[in-house]
Structure 1
Amino acid sequence: MEIDDISAQVIDACIAIHRELGPGLLESVYEIVLAGELELRGLKVDRQVPVDIEFRGRHHLGAFRVDLLVEDCLVLEIKSVEQLNKSHAKQVLTYLRLMKQPVGLLLNFAGATMKEGIRRIVNQHRQPQAPSASPRLRVIKNSGEA
């Protein structure tokens, strides 16, 4: 399944959830319900995925957690805030860059409609190809349970 098809399934599920539950619940509620809905649609969903990073030769376990990772390629960051701001998009972009993932969705369930709360974030950052670039930061997806 292509990432655009996966994104379409996620957006469709978000709209259905928002219509039924409405705004005003905690992010954790939307996360649980969305994960369940996507699994019912046959998608692989991992919740609260811990991501390790290596920085300057030191390994840091679970440096951050991704709300949902769908089909091992689509990062979902769930919010329930009055209004999204630039720092929310930067957060998702940084996750994408560090995880070397192409696309993420920033999903805010607090709006009057779900349509106004969906932001697609694309990672256009390219990691250096030459090993001589000596990267100081390396990300390792933790395969352990959250």
Structure 2
Amino acid sequence: MHPQMTQRDAERRDPQTYTIIGAAMQVHKELGHGFLEAVYQEALEREFSKQGIPYVREQELKIFYCGQELKTFYKADFVCFSSIIVELKAVQNITGVDEAQVINYLKASNLNKALLINFGSLSLQYKRLVFNLRESVQSADKEREA
């Protein structure tokens, strides 16, 4: 039997993600659902500043094809702590298309962690996405062996 992970455990394992989700919860608590994504983006930017969360808004993510940079690029809503992509939605429910978009952002950025946050539902929805998990696990295993 596996014990259920508590909020405190989650905060210890990934404090940065936990902090970002907390800021998003504060915005959703204040504004509720029903606004356009741009409203939540501006409010979340203010909450990040208020809580001292380092971020870059609308970070351009370059895309490469056969080693050459394309003119086309993605724009992530935020990159926090220089390592976590934060993509916002204001829709009824997060879909596989939304998740695929974020995974493509991870591929383009060479980052491996992202949060997909949806302000459009009655309760805040969020999903933590990790890219290249197998490589990360192998890396962690090597560290344990050393």
1:83 aligns with 2:83: no
Partner of 1:105: 115
Q: What are the superposed Cα offsets for residues 3-60 of structure 1, whole Å, 9 maximum, x if unpaired?
A: 8111111111111111110101111111111112112211211011112223135422
Number of residue-to-residue matches in the alignment: 124
- Give the share of equivalent positions with the same residue, in percent: 27
Distance 2:82 2:118 in 1: 21
The Cα of 1:113 is off from its aligned counterpart by 0.9
Amino acid at match of 1:22: G
Distance 1:66 1:118 in 2: 16
Q: Which is helix-richer, 1 or 2?
A: 2
Picking from 49, 52, 60, the partner of 2:59 is 49
| Structure 1 stretches of 4+ moved >3 Å | none
Q: What are the superposed Cα offsets for residues 54-75 of structure 1, whole Å, 9 maximum, x if unpaired?
A: 3135422451101100011010
Amino acid at match of 1:24: G
Picking from 132, 138, 146, the partner of 1:124 is 132
Unaligned runs of 5+ in 1: 128-146
Partner of 1:135: none
Aligned-pair Cα RMSD in Å: 2.0
Partner of 2:47: 37
Between the two structures, name the one with larger relative contact order (CA 8 Å, sep ≥ 6).
Answer: 1
Distance 2:117 2:69 in 1: 30
Amino acid at match of 1:90: A
The Cα of 1:98 is off from its aligned counterpart by 2.2
Unaligned runs of 5+ in 2: 1-11, 136-146
Distance 1:51 1:3 in 2: 27
TM-score scaled to structure 2, two decimals?
0.77
Change in 2 beyond 3 A, CA 1:3/1:35: farther
Partner of 1:15: 25
Picking from 17, 20, 36, the partner of 1:26 is 36
SS of residue paired to 1:91: helix
Distance 1:36 1:8 in 2: 17
